[in-house]
Amino acid sequence: MTRPVVLFACIHNSGRSVAARLLLEHHAAGTVEARSAGSEPKAAVNPVVSEVLAERGLSTDAEVPTHLHTDVVQAADVVITMGCGETCPFLPGKRYEDWPVDDPAGQDLDDVRRIVGDIDGRVRRLLDTLHSLG
């Protein structure tokens, strides 16, 4: 049985998409492959996002912001956009969802906790729908 591949795409691939990828990977426990990329990737993960994820037992140490290319989208079964708008490649036949999630850039710790909590809820709902893809 093939694991579904989910791509989380945002602008900087340093906050929202990284959090979503790590949360899905954690909750899916090996049943889903999670990836992330950004249309304008930053050099490193947002340190406040890293702190909030660490509070949840998730490490961003191995995360490197990645550029969003068409081949990354092609390899995904599900593409979740999180603010990348028209810069996210659209390929027919892919399942797309747009999640209007606040950008954690420049936000304080409490706001980032709220944002990561929002992403966590969305990831859990997504995971409930993915069993039909695998």
Half-sphere exposure of 102 (CA within 13 A, CB side): 15
Domains of the chain: 5-130 (3.40.50.2300)
Average pLDDT over residues 56-73: 94
Length of the chain as a residue count: 134
> pTM of the full predicted structure?
0.93
- Given a cut of 60, whether residue 1 has pLDDT beyond it is no
Mind listing the pLDDT tens digit for each residue in 82-134? 976 666 777 888 899 999 999 999 999 999 999 999 999 999 999 999 875 54
Contacts of 71 (CB under 8 A, 6+ apart): none
Residue 134 is predicted with a pLDDT of: 47
- Residue-averaged pLDDT of the chain: 92
